Chain A
Protein backbone atom coordinates (compact mmCIF):
# COMPACT_ATOMS: atom_id res chain seq x y z
CA UNK A 1 0.00 0.00 0.00
CA UNK A 2 1.34 3.43 -0.87
CA UNK A 3 0.01 6.85 -1.69
CA UNK A 4 1.77 9.93 -3.03
CA UNK A 5 1.36 13.57 -2.08
CA UNK A 6 2.83 16.42 -4.14
CA UNK A 7 4.25 19.54 -2.55
CA UNK A 8 6.61 22.44 -3.17
CA UNK A 9 9.59 22.66 -0.85
CA UNK A 10 9.93 26.03 0.88
CA UNK A 11 13.32 25.49 2.51
CA UNK A 12 14.92 27.86 -0.03
CA UNK A 13 13.88 29.97 -3.07
CA UNK A 14 14.47 27.07 -5.51
CA UNK A 15 11.01 25.72 -4.76
CA UNK A 16 11.59 22.08 -5.74
CA UNK A 17 8.44 20.25 -6.80
CA UNK A 18 8.52 17.14 -4.68
CA UNK A 19 6.50 13.94 -4.44
CA UNK A 20 6.24 12.22 -1.08
CA UNK A 21 5.29 8.59 -1.16
CA UNK A 22 3.90 7.03 1.99
CA UNK A 23 4.90 3.40 2.30
CA UNK A 24 2.88 1.41 4.85
CA UNK A 25 4.52 -1.96 5.02
CA UNK A 26 4.35 -2.82 8.69
CA UNK A 27 6.16 0.45 9.54
CA UNK A 28 5.18 3.76 7.92
CA UNK A 29 8.01 5.26 5.87
CA UNK A 30 8.20 8.22 3.51
CA UNK A 31 10.04 8.35 0.22
CA UNK A 32 10.76 11.88 -0.99
CA UNK A 33 11.61 12.52 -4.63
CA UNK A 34 12.15 15.64 -6.73
CA UNK A 35 14.18 17.40 -4.02
CA UNK A 36 17.62 18.67 -5.01
CA UNK A 37 19.08 18.68 -1.49
CA UNK A 38 18.69 16.92 1.90
CA UNK A 39 16.70 19.83 3.34
CA UNK A 40 13.91 18.93 0.93
CA UNK A 41 13.64 15.44 2.34
CA UNK A 42 13.60 16.78 5.89
CA UNK A 43 10.89 19.29 5.02
CA UNK A 44 8.79 16.71 3.16
CA UNK A 45 8.80 14.21 6.01
CA UNK A 46 8.02 16.95 8.56
CA UNK A 47 5.07 18.14 6.46
CA UNK A 48 3.74 14.56 6.37
CA UNK A 49 4.26 13.76 10.05
CA UNK A 50 3.95 16.99 12.04
CA UNK A 51 3.64 20.20 10.01
CA UNK A 52 4.18 23.24 12.26
CA UNK A 53 3.79 26.99 11.75
CA UNK A 54 4.62 30.16 13.63
CA UNK A 55 1.46 32.12 14.39
CA UNK A 56 1.59 35.91 14.37
CA UNK A 57 -1.48 37.93 15.26
CA UNK A 58 -2.69 40.70 17.56
CA UNK A 59 -4.58 41.00 20.85
CA UNK A 60 -6.75 43.81 22.21
CA UNK A 61 -4.78 46.59 23.91
CA UNK A 62 -6.48 48.61 26.62
CA UNK A 63 -4.38 51.70 27.21
CA UNK A 64 -1.84 51.80 24.39
CA UNK A 65 -1.58 54.40 21.64
CA UNK A 66 -2.82 51.63 19.32
CA UNK A 67 -5.90 49.42 19.69
CA UNK A 68 -3.98 46.22 18.98
CA UNK A 69 -0.78 44.73 20.36
CA UNK A 70 1.12 42.46 17.95
CA UNK A 71 2.04 39.02 19.32
CA UNK A 72 3.53 35.72 18.14
CA UNK A 73 4.01 32.17 19.32
CA UNK A 74 7.41 31.65 20.98
CA UNK A 75 7.96 28.72 18.60
CA UNK A 76 6.11 26.98 15.77
CA UNK A 77 2.92 25.15 16.77
CA UNK A 78 1.23 22.21 15.04
CA UNK A 79 -0.68 23.42 12.00
CA UNK A 80 -3.98 21.90 13.16
CA UNK A 81 -3.81 24.00 16.34
CA UNK A 82 -3.79 27.35 14.48
CA UNK A 83 -7.54 27.99 14.67
CA UNK A 84 -7.67 27.04 18.37
CA UNK A 85 -4.78 29.44 18.96
CA UNK A 86 -6.68 32.24 17.19
CA UNK A 87 -9.75 31.58 19.32
CA UNK A 88 -7.67 31.92 22.49
CA UNK A 89 -6.13 35.20 21.27
CA UNK A 90 -9.54 36.64 20.47
CA UNK A 91 -10.53 36.57 24.14
CA UNK A 92 -7.36 38.27 25.43
CA UNK A 93 -7.18 41.91 26.44
CA UNK A 94 -3.85 43.32 27.59
CA UNK A 95 -3.19 46.30 29.80
CA UNK A 96 0.03 48.25 29.26
CA UNK A 97 2.82 48.96 29.63
CA UNK A 98 4.13 45.94 27.73
CA UNK A 99 7.75 45.29 26.73
CA UNK A 100 8.75 43.40 23.61
CA UNK A 101 9.22 39.71 24.54
CA UNK A 102 6.80 39.85 27.51
CA UNK A 103 4.79 36.65 27.91
CA UNK A 104 1.12 37.38 27.20
CA UNK A 105 -0.13 33.78 27.48
CA UNK A 106 1.82 31.13 29.32
CA UNK A 107 1.82 27.56 27.99
CA UNK A 108 -0.68 28.06 25.16
CA UNK A 109 -3.13 25.13 24.87
CA UNK A 110 -0.75 23.00 26.92
CA UNK A 111 1.77 23.03 24.04
CA UNK A 112 4.61 24.36 26.22
CA UNK A 113 4.76 27.34 23.91
CA UNK A 114 4.03 30.92 24.99
CA UNK A 115 2.40 33.86 23.28
CA UNK A 116 4.79 36.80 23.46
CA UNK A 117 4.47 40.52 22.66
CA UNK A 118 6.37 41.62 19.56
CA UNK A 119 6.56 45.29 20.47
CA UNK A 120 6.69 47.55 23.49
CA UNK A 121 3.65 49.72 24.11
Chain B
Protein backbone atom coordinates (compact mmCIF):
# COMPACT_ATOMS: atom_id res chain seq x y z
CA UNK B 1 0.00 0.00 0.00
CA UNK B 2 1.34 3.40 -0.96
CA UNK B 3 1.93 5.74 1.96
CA UNK B 4 1.96 9.51 2.31
CA UNK B 5 2.86 11.82 5.13
CA UNK B 6 -0.32 13.85 4.65
CA UNK B 7 -3.48 13.12 2.67
CA UNK B 8 -5.74 16.15 2.16
CA UNK B 9 -9.34 15.33 1.30
CA UNK B 10 -10.83 18.05 -0.90
CA UNK B 11 -9.13 20.41 -3.39
CA UNK B 12 -11.16 23.54 -2.70
CA UNK B 13 -9.83 26.64 -0.92
CA UNK B 14 -9.42 24.78 2.39
CA UNK B 15 -7.56 21.79 0.99
CA UNK B 16 -5.32 23.90 -1.25
CA UNK B 17 -4.27 26.25 1.56
CA UNK B 18 -3.69 23.36 3.98
CA UNK B 19 -1.56 21.41 1.49
CA UNK B 20 0.59 24.40 0.51
CA UNK B 21 1.15 25.40 4.14
CA UNK B 22 2.01 21.81 5.15
CA UNK B 23 4.61 21.66 2.40
CA UNK B 24 6.09 25.04 3.40
CA UNK B 25 6.41 23.70 6.93
CA UNK B 26 8.47 20.70 6.01
CA UNK B 27 5.96 17.93 5.17
CA UNK B 28 7.24 15.88 2.25
CA UNK B 29 4.77 13.51 0.60
CA UNK B 30 1.41 15.20 0.36
CA UNK B 31 -1.57 14.00 -1.69
CA UNK B 32 -4.64 16.15 -2.38
CA UNK B 33 -7.75 14.18 -3.39
CA UNK B 34 -10.48 16.01 -5.33
CA UNK B 35 -13.72 14.51 -6.62
CA UNK B 36 -14.38 17.17 -9.28
CA UNK B 37 -12.66 17.39 -12.68
CA UNK B 38 -10.54 20.35 -11.54
CA UNK B 39 -9.17 21.99 -8.40
CA UNK B 40 -10.62 25.14 -6.82
CA UNK B 41 -13.88 23.81 -5.41
CA UNK B 42 -16.91 26.05 -5.28
CA UNK B 43 -14.81 29.18 -5.97
CA UNK B 44 -14.82 28.26 -9.66
CA UNK B 45 -18.55 28.99 -9.89
CA UNK B 46 -18.44 32.11 -7.68
CA UNK B 47 -17.54 34.47 -10.53
CA UNK B 48 -18.53 37.60 -8.55
CA UNK B 49 -15.95 39.77 -6.80
CA UNK B 50 -15.35 40.34 -3.10
CA UNK B 51 -12.81 37.61 -2.36
CA UNK B 52 -9.30 38.14 -1.01
CA UNK B 53 -9.61 41.52 0.73
CA UNK B 54 -7.92 40.13 3.85
CA UNK B 55 -5.53 37.55 2.38
CA UNK B 56 -4.34 39.47 -0.71
CA UNK B 57 -5.43 43.02 0.23
CA UNK B 58 -7.22 43.29 -3.10
CA UNK B 59 -10.65 42.38 -4.40
CA UNK B 60 -10.72 39.24 -6.55
CA UNK B 61 -13.38 37.02 -8.10
CA UNK B 62 -13.70 33.39 -6.97
CA UNK B 63 -11.84 31.87 -9.95
CA UNK B 64 -8.98 34.40 -9.57
CA UNK B 65 -8.66 33.56 -5.86
CA UNK B 66 -8.67 29.83 -6.64
CA UNK B 67 -6.11 30.14 -9.43
CA UNK B 68 -3.55 31.76 -7.12
CA UNK B 69 -3.71 28.74 -4.81
CA UNK B 70 -3.78 26.19 -7.65
CA UNK B 71 -0.63 27.81 -9.05
CA UNK B 72 0.91 27.72 -5.57
CA UNK B 73 0.15 24.00 -5.27
CA UNK B 74 1.70 23.25 -8.65
CA UNK B 75 4.79 25.35 -7.93
CA UNK B 76 5.33 23.37 -4.74
CA UNK B 77 5.06 20.16 -6.76
CA UNK B 78 2.30 18.77 -4.56
CA UNK B 79 0.64 15.62 -5.95
CA UNK B 80 -3.12 15.68 -6.55
CA UNK B 81 -5.74 13.34 -7.94
CA UNK B 82 -8.83 14.62 -9.75
CA UNK B 83 -12.12 12.78 -10.41
CA UNK B 84 -11.34 10.83 -7.27
CA UNK B 85 -13.91 10.03 -4.63
CA UNK B 86 -12.80 9.14 -1.13
CA UNK B 87 -14.97 6.29 0.12
CA UNK B 88 -13.67 5.76 3.62
CA UNK B 89 -11.13 6.87 6.21
CA UNK B 90 -10.27 4.57 9.09
CA UNK B 91 -9.24 5.75 12.54
CA UNK B 92 -5.77 4.39 11.62
CA UNK B 93 -5.68 6.91 8.74
CA UNK B 94 -6.06 4.45 5.93
CA UNK B 95 -7.83 6.24 3.07
CA UNK B 96 -9.84 4.33 0.44
CA UNK B 97 -10.67 6.05 -2.83
CA UNK B 98 -11.88 5.32 -6.33
CA UNK B 99 -11.35 6.90 -9.75
CA UNK B 100 -11.52 5.87 -13.43
CA UNK B 101 -7.72 5.57 -13.75
CA UNK B 102 -6.58 3.70 -10.64
CA UNK B 103 -9.88 1.97 -9.91
CA UNK B 104 -10.04 1.21 -6.19
CA UNK B 105 -7.06 2.50 -4.28
CA UNK B 106 -5.98 2.49 -0.63
CA UNK B 107 -3.26 4.67 0.82
CA UNK B 108 -1.79 4.96 4.30
CA UNK B 109 -1.37 8.45 5.74
CA UNK B 110 0.51 9.63 8.82
CA UNK B 111 -1.85 12.60 9.02
CA UNK B 112 -5.14 13.40 7.27
CA UNK B 113 -6.63 16.85 6.64
CA UNK B 114 -10.40 16.88 6.15
CA UNK B 115 -11.36 19.70 3.75
CA UNK B 116 -14.59 18.42 2.20
CA UNK B 117 -16.47 21.69 2.53
CA UNK B 118 -20.22 21.84 2.85
CA UNK B 119 -23.39 21.02 0.96
CA UNK B 120 -26.55 22.99 0.33
CA UNK B 121 -29.74 22.24 2.17
CA UNK B 122 -32.40 21.10 -0.27
CA UNK B 123 -36.16 21.22 -0.56
CA UNK B 124 -36.31 17.91 1.31
CA UNK B 125 -34.48 19.42 4.30
CA UNK B 126 -37.13 22.11 4.78
CA UNK B 127 -40.24 20.21 3.61
CA UNK B 128 -41.86 22.64 1.18
CA UNK B 129 -45.32 21.35 0.23
CA UNK B 130 -46.50 21.13 -3.36
CA UNK B 131 -45.84 19.29 -6.58
CA UNK B 132 -42.54 17.78 -7.62
CA UNK B 133 -42.28 19.76 -10.84
CA UNK B 134 -38.97 20.53 -12.51
CA UNK B 135 -37.53 24.02 -12.10
CA UNK B 136 -36.58 23.75 -8.42
CA UNK B 137 -32.84 24.18 -7.84
CA UNK B 138 -30.57 24.96 -4.95
CA UNK B 139 -28.98 28.35 -5.63
CA UNK B 140 -25.50 26.83 -5.88
CA UNK B 141 -26.59 24.27 -8.47
CA UNK B 142 -28.17 27.02 -10.55
CA UNK B 143 -24.96 29.04 -10.14
CA UNK B 144 -22.89 26.19 -11.53
CA UNK B 145 -25.27 25.68 -14.48
CA UNK B 146 -25.29 29.37 -15.39
CA UNK B 147 -21.67 30.33 -14.70
CA UNK B 148 -19.76 27.23 -15.76
CA UNK B 149 -21.89 24.95 -17.92
CA UNK B 150 -23.68 27.75 -19.77
CA UNK B 151 -27.28 26.70 -19.17
CA UNK B 152 -29.90 29.21 -18.11
CA UNK B 153 -32.10 27.54 -15.50
CA UNK B 154 -35.25 29.64 -15.90
CA UNK B 155 -36.85 32.91 -16.97
CA UNK B 156 -39.22 33.82 -14.15
CA UNK B 157 -37.69 33.22 -10.78
CA UNK B 158 -38.57 33.30 -7.09
CA UNK B 159 -35.76 32.82 -4.57
CA UNK B 160 -36.34 31.39 -1.09
CA UNK B 161 -33.67 32.40 1.41
CA UNK B 162 -31.69 35.62 1.58
CA UNK B 163 -28.25 34.25 2.43
CA UNK B 164 -25.43 35.55 0.28
CA UNK B 165 -25.77 32.86 -2.41
CA UNK B 166 -29.47 33.67 -2.83
CA UNK B 167 -28.72 37.39 -3.15
CA UNK B 168 -25.84 36.85 -5.58
CA UNK B 169 -28.03 34.60 -7.73
CA UNK B 170 -30.84 37.17 -7.76
CA UNK B 171 -28.44 39.61 -9.44
CA UNK B 172 -26.89 36.99 -11.68
CA UNK B 173 -30.24 35.74 -13.03
CA UNK B 174 -31.35 39.35 -13.61
CA UNK B 175 -28.16 40.22 -15.51
CA UNK B 176 -28.70 37.13 -17.68
CA UNK B 177 -32.17 38.34 -18.60
CA UNK B 178 -34.46 36.55 -16.16
CA UNK B 179 -37.14 38.28 -14.11
CA UNK B 180 -36.57 37.74 -10.38
CA UNK B 181 -39.95 38.39 -8.75
CA UNK B 182 -38.83 38.33 -5.14
CA UNK B 183 -36.40 37.03 -2.57
CA UNK B 184 -38.44 35.47 0.22
CA UNK B 185 -36.91 35.20 3.72
CA UNK B 186 -38.42 33.30 6.64
CA UNK B 187 -36.57 35.30 9.31
CA UNK B 188 -37.26 38.98 10.13
CA UNK B 189 -33.70 39.82 8.93
CA UNK B 190 -31.47 38.72 6.07
CA UNK B 191 -28.55 36.40 6.69
CA UNK B 192 -26.65 38.05 3.85
CA UNK B 193 -24.19 40.93 3.90
CA UNK B 194 -25.75 44.43 3.65
CA UNK B 195 -23.49 45.10 0.72
CA UNK B 196 -25.16 42.26 -1.18
CA UNK B 197 -28.67 43.43 -0.31
CA UNK B 198 -27.84 46.84 -1.79
CA UNK B 199 -25.87 45.73 -4.84
CA UNK B 200 -27.82 42.58 -5.72
CA UNK B 201 -31.40 43.51 -4.83
CA UNK B 202 -31.86 47.28 -4.52
CA UNK B 203 -29.80 48.01 -7.65
CA UNK B 204 -32.26 45.90 -9.65
CA UNK B 205 -35.45 46.71 -7.70
CA UNK B 206 -35.90 43.12 -6.54
CA UNK B 207 -38.22 42.99 -3.50
CA UNK B 208 -36.90 41.34 -0.31
CA UNK B 209 -39.85 39.90 1.58
CA UNK B 210 -38.80 39.33 5.20
CA UNK B 211 -40.88 37.08 7.50
CA UNK B 212 -42.35 35.28 4.49
CA UNK B 213 -42.10 31.71 3.27
CA UNK B 214 -43.09 29.49 0.36
CA UNK B 215 -46.29 27.63 1.18
CA UNK B 216 -46.91 25.77 -2.07
CA UNK B 217 -45.30 24.86 -5.37
CA UNK B 218 -47.78 24.50 -8.26
CA UNK B 219 -47.03 22.90 -11.65
CA UNK B 220 -47.29 19.49 -13.26
CA UNK B 221 -44.17 19.14 -15.41
CA UNK B 222 -42.55 22.51 -14.79
CA UNK B 223 -43.09 24.99 -11.95
CA UNK B 224 -46.00 27.28 -12.87
CA UNK B 225 -46.68 29.19 -9.70
CA UNK B 226 -45.07 29.75 -6.29
CA UNK B 227 -47.38 30.58 -3.41
CA UNK B 228 -46.01 32.49 -0.45
CA UNK B 229 -47.37 33.81 2.85
CA UNK B 230 -46.24 36.01 5.70
CA UNK B 231 -45.23 34.18 8.88
CA UNK B 232 -45.82 34.96 12.54
CA UNK B 233 -43.14 35.09 15.26
CA UNK B 234 -43.27 31.28 15.47
CA UNK B 235 -42.52 31.14 11.74
CA UNK B 236 -46.00 29.79 10.95
CA UNK B 237 -47.85 31.12 7.88
CA UNK B 238 -50.52 33.70 8.76
CA UNK B 239 -53.87 32.84 7.09
CA UNK B 240 -55.08 35.58 4.78
CA UNK B 241 -51.59 36.79 3.80
CA UNK B 242 -51.15 34.33 0.93
CA UNK B 243 -50.20 35.56 -2.52
CA UNK B 244 -48.61 33.98 -5.54
CA UNK B 245 -46.14 34.55 -8.36
CA UNK B 246 -46.49 33.08 -11.84
CA UNK B 247 -42.99 31.76 -12.49
CA UNK B 248 -41.07 28.79 -13.83
CA UNK B 249 -38.22 28.51 -11.34
CA UNK B 250 -37.66 28.38 -7.59
CA UNK B 251 -34.12 28.79 -6.26
CA UNK B 252 -33.37 27.69 -2.71
CA UNK B 253 -30.73 29.38 -0.59
CA UNK B 254 -31.71 27.91 2.74
CA UNK B 255 -28.45 27.11 4.43
CA UNK B 256 -25.34 25.01 4.19
CA UNK B 257 -24.38 21.87 6.08
CA UNK B 258 -20.77 20.72 6.61
CA UNK B 259 -20.27 17.49 4.68
CA UNK B 260 -19.13 14.99 7.28
CA UNK B 261 -20.10 11.50 6.11
CA UNK B 262 -16.41 10.51 6.03
CA UNK B 263 -15.75 12.05 9.43
CA UNK B 264 -18.69 10.14 10.92
CA UNK B 265 -17.62 6.79 9.53
CA UNK B 266 -14.11 7.38 10.90
CA UNK B 267 -15.68 7.89 14.34
CA UNK B 268 -14.78 11.56 14.67
CA UNK B 269 -16.77 13.49 17.27
CA UNK B 270 -19.02 16.20 15.79
CA UNK B 271 -20.44 19.40 17.31
CA UNK B 272 -24.25 19.42 17.21
CA UNK B 273 -24.40 23.17 16.53
CA UNK B 274 -21.81 23.57 13.76
CA UNK B 275 -22.38 20.12 12.25
CA UNK B 276 -18.61 19.80 11.93
CA UNK B 277 -15.85 18.06 13.87
CA UNK B 278 -14.94 19.17 17.37
CA UNK B 279 -11.40 20.56 17.01
CA UNK B 280 -8.53 21.81 19.16
CA UNK B 281 -6.18 24.78 18.73
CA UNK B 282 -4.29 22.92 16.00
CA UNK B 283 -7.52 22.13 14.06
CA UNK B 284 -7.04 18.49 15.10
CA UNK B 285 -10.22 16.43 15.50
CA UNK B 286 -11.01 13.91 18.26
CA UNK B 287 -8.78 11.41 16.42
CA UNK B 288 -5.09 12.20 16.84
CA UNK B 289 -3.47 13.12 13.51
CA UNK B 290 -6.76 13.79 11.69
CA UNK B 291 -7.16 17.53 11.13
CA UNK B 292 -10.07 19.50 9.64
CA UNK B 293 -10.49 22.99 8.22
CA UNK B 294 -12.82 25.26 6.26
CA UNK B 295 -16.52 24.73 5.77
CA UNK B 296 -16.35 21.09 6.84
CA UNK B 297 -15.73 22.40 10.39
CA UNK B 298 -18.15 25.35 10.38
CA UNK B 299 -19.67 27.35 7.53
CA UNK B 300 -17.65 30.53 6.95
CA UNK B 301 -18.94 33.71 5.29
CA UNK B 302 -15.58 34.76 3.82
CA UNK B 303 -13.13 32.51 2.00
CA UNK B 304 -10.33 34.59 3.52
CA UNK B 305 -11.13 33.08 6.93
CA UNK B 306 -11.21 29.61 5.39
CA UNK B 307 -7.69 30.22 4.12
CA UNK B 308 -6.48 31.47 7.51
CA UNK B 309 -7.95 28.47 9.31
CA UNK B 310 -6.71 25.98 6.72
CA UNK B 311 -3.17 27.30 6.83
CA UNK B 312 -3.29 26.63 10.56
CA UNK B 313 -4.52 23.06 9.94
CA UNK B 314 -1.87 22.43 7.27
CA UNK B 315 0.94 23.79 9.41
CA UNK B 316 -0.10 21.70 12.38
CA UNK B 317 -0.47 18.55 10.28
CA UNK B 318 3.15 19.14 9.25
CA UNK B 319 4.16 19.66 12.89
CA UNK B 320 2.31 16.45 13.79
CA UNK B 321 4.15 14.27 11.27
CA UNK B 322 7.41 15.78 12.53
CA UNK B 323 6.42 14.94 16.14
CA UNK B 324 6.29 18.62 17.12
CA UNK B 325 2.71 18.68 18.42
CA UNK B 326 2.45 18.00 22.13
CA UNK B 327 -0.31 15.53 23.03
CA UNK B 328 -1.87 14.75 26.40
CA UNK B 329 -1.11 18.11 28.00
CA UNK B 330 -3.26 20.68 29.82
CA UNK B 331 -6.43 21.36 27.86
CA UNK B 332 -8.84 24.28 28.20
CA UNK B 333 -12.45 24.01 26.96
CA UNK B 334 -13.99 27.04 25.20
CA UNK B 335 -17.64 27.33 26.21
CA UNK B 336 -20.15 29.50 24.33
CA UNK B 337 -22.08 31.65 26.82
CA UNK B 338 -25.10 33.94 26.47
CA UNK B 339 -25.68 35.20 22.94
CA UNK B 340 -22.92 33.06 21.39
CA UNK B 341 -23.98 29.99 19.41
CA UNK B 342 -20.64 28.27 19.04
CA UNK B 343 -16.90 28.75 19.38
CA UNK B 344 -14.18 27.16 17.23
CA UNK B 345 -11.78 25.71 18.38
CA UNK B 346 -13.54 23.76 21.11
CA UNK B 347 -10.32 22.92 23.00
CA UNK B 348 -7.04 24.75 23.53
CA UNK B 349 -3.72 23.22 24.55
CA UNK B 350 -1.70 26.40 25.32
CA UNK B 351 1.59 24.49 24.97
CA UNK B 352 0.98 24.12 21.23
CA UNK B 353 0.34 27.82 20.63
CA UNK B 354 3.30 29.64 19.12
CA UNK B 355 2.23 33.26 19.63
CA UNK B 356 -1.53 33.71 19.35
CA UNK B 357 -4.80 31.90 18.67
CA UNK B 358 -7.84 33.07 16.73
CA UNK B 359 -11.17 32.10 18.34
CA UNK B 360 -14.04 32.13 15.83
CA UNK B 361 -17.69 32.36 16.77
CA UNK B 362 -21.20 33.30 15.73
CA UNK B 363 -23.83 35.20 17.71
CA UNK B 364 -27.50 34.18 17.89
CA UNK B 365 -29.22 37.44 16.91
CA UNK B 366 -28.67 40.98 15.62
CA UNK B 367 -27.12 43.21 18.31
CA UNK B 368 -25.91 46.80 18.45
CA UNK B 369 -23.53 48.09 21.10
CA UNK B 370 -22.46 44.90 22.83
CA UNK B 371 -19.25 43.38 24.17
CA UNK B 372 -17.76 39.99 23.47
CA UNK B 373 -16.24 38.94 26.77
CA UNK B 374 -13.89 36.03 27.46
CA UNK B 375 -13.90 35.01 31.10
CA UNK B 376 -12.46 32.38 33.38
CA UNK B 377 -15.06 32.14 36.15
CA UNK B 378 -15.52 35.85 36.99
CA UNK B 379 -12.14 37.06 35.80
CA UNK B 380 -12.24 38.91 32.47
CA UNK B 381 -9.44 37.80 30.13
CA UNK B 382 -10.47 39.92 27.19
CA UNK B 383 -13.39 42.18 26.37
CA UNK B 384 -14.04 43.64 22.94
CA UNK B 385 -16.60 46.30 22.09
CA UNK B 386 -18.69 45.53 19.01
CA UNK B 387 -20.83 48.21 17.41
CA UNK B 388 -22.69 45.70 15.27
CA UNK B 389 -23.17 41.93 15.55
CA UNK B 390 -25.24 39.60 13.36
CA UNK B 391 -25.55 35.82 12.95
CA UNK B 392 -24.51 36.18 9.31
CA UNK B 393 -21.18 37.73 10.23
CA UNK B 394 -18.60 35.53 11.89
CA UNK B 395 -16.69 37.16 14.75
CA UNK B 396 -13.17 36.42 15.84
CA UNK B 397 -11.06 37.25 18.87
CA UNK B 398 -7.31 36.83 19.13
CA UNK B 399 -5.83 35.46 22.33
CA UNK B 400 -2.09 35.77 22.85
CA UNK B 401 0.03 33.01 24.34
CA UNK B 402 0.54 35.25 27.41
CA UNK B 403 -3.22 35.64 27.85
CA UNK B 404 -3.71 31.89 27.47
CA UNK B 405 -1.03 31.20 30.07
CA UNK B 406 -2.97 33.20 32.68
CA UNK B 407 -5.76 30.60 32.54
CA UNK B 408 -5.42 28.37 35.59
CA UNK B 409 -8.52 26.22 35.22
CA UNK B 410 -10.02 24.00 32.57
CA UNK B 411 -12.67 26.20 31.02
CA UNK B 412 -13.21 29.68 29.60
CA UNK B 413 -16.55 31.19 28.59
CA UNK B 414 -17.16 33.49 25.63
CA UNK B 415 -20.38 35.46 26.06
CA UNK B 416 -22.11 38.59 24.89
CA UNK B 417 -22.69 41.44 27.34
CA UNK B 418 -25.26 43.86 26.06
CA UNK B 419 -24.80 47.56 26.73
CA UNK B 420 -27.79 48.93 24.83
CA UNK B 421 -31.15 47.41 24.08
CA UNK B 422 -31.31 44.77 21.36
CA UNK B 423 -32.50 46.10 18.04
User: How far, in whole Å, are A55 and B269 apart by their CA atoms in the complex?
Assistant: 43
B40 (CB) vs chain A CBs: closest residue = A119
Contact of B149 among A66, A70, A118 (CB under 8 A): A66
User: How far, in whole Å, are A105 and B60 apart by their CA atoms in the complex?
Assistant: 19
Q: Does A53 contact B (CB under 8 A)?
A: yes
Contact of B393 among A13, A68, A70 (CB under 8 A): A13
Q: Does A4 contact B (CB under 8 A)?
A: no
Interface centre among B44, B147, B176, B197 (most CB of A within 10 A): B147
Of A21-29, A57-65, A106-114, the one touching chain B: A57-65
B385: chain A residues at CB < 8 Å are none
Name A25-64 residues within 8 Å CB distance of B.
Answer: 36, 53-58, 60
Nearest Cβ distance between residue B155 and chain A, in whole angstroms? 15
Number of interface residues of B (CB under 8 A): 32
A54 (CB) vs chain B CBs: closest residue = B49
Q: Does B421 contact A (CB under 8 A)?
A: no
Tell me whether B175 and A100 are in contact (CB under 8 A).
no
User: How far, in whole Å, are A82 and B64 apart by their CA atoms in the complex?
Assistant: 22
User: How far, in whole Å, are A58 and B390 apart by their CA atoms in the complex?
Assistant: 33
Task: From known contacts A67-B148, A68-B148, infer whether A119 and B194 are also in contact, taking CB-CB under 8 Å.
Answer: no
Contact of B175 among A54, A57, A118 (CB under 8 A): A57
A79: chain B residues at CB < 8 Å are 203
Tell me whether B199 and A70 are in contact (CB under 8 A).
no
0/1 string, B16-60, CB within 8 A of A gives 1: 000000000000000000000110000010011100000000011
Contact of B150 among A7, A8, A36, A58 (CB under 8 A): A58
Q: Does A15 contact B (CB under 8 A)?
A: yes
A-B contact count (CB 8 A): 73
Contact of A58 among B47, B197, B198, B203 (CB under 8 A): B47
Interface centre among A14, A58, A100, A119 (most CB of B within 10 A): A119
How many chain A residues sit at the interface, stated as a range, is: 20 to 34
Tell me whether B47 and A56 are in contact (CB under 8 A).
yes
Tell me whether B150 and A100 are in contact (CB under 8 A).
no
Task: From known contacts A53-B203, A86-B175, A100-B64, infer whether A13 and B150 are also in contact, taking CB-CB under 8 Å.
Answer: no
0/1 string, B168-184, CB within 8 A of A gives 1: 00000001100000000
Task: From known contacts A10-B194, A10-B195, A58-B47, infer whether A119 and B63 are also in contact, taking CB-CB under 8 Å.
Answer: yes
User: How far, in whole Å, are A83 and B199 apart by their CA atoms in the complex?
Assistant: 14
Contact of B388 among A15, A54, A55 (CB under 8 A): A15
A120: chain B residues at CB < 8 Å are 67
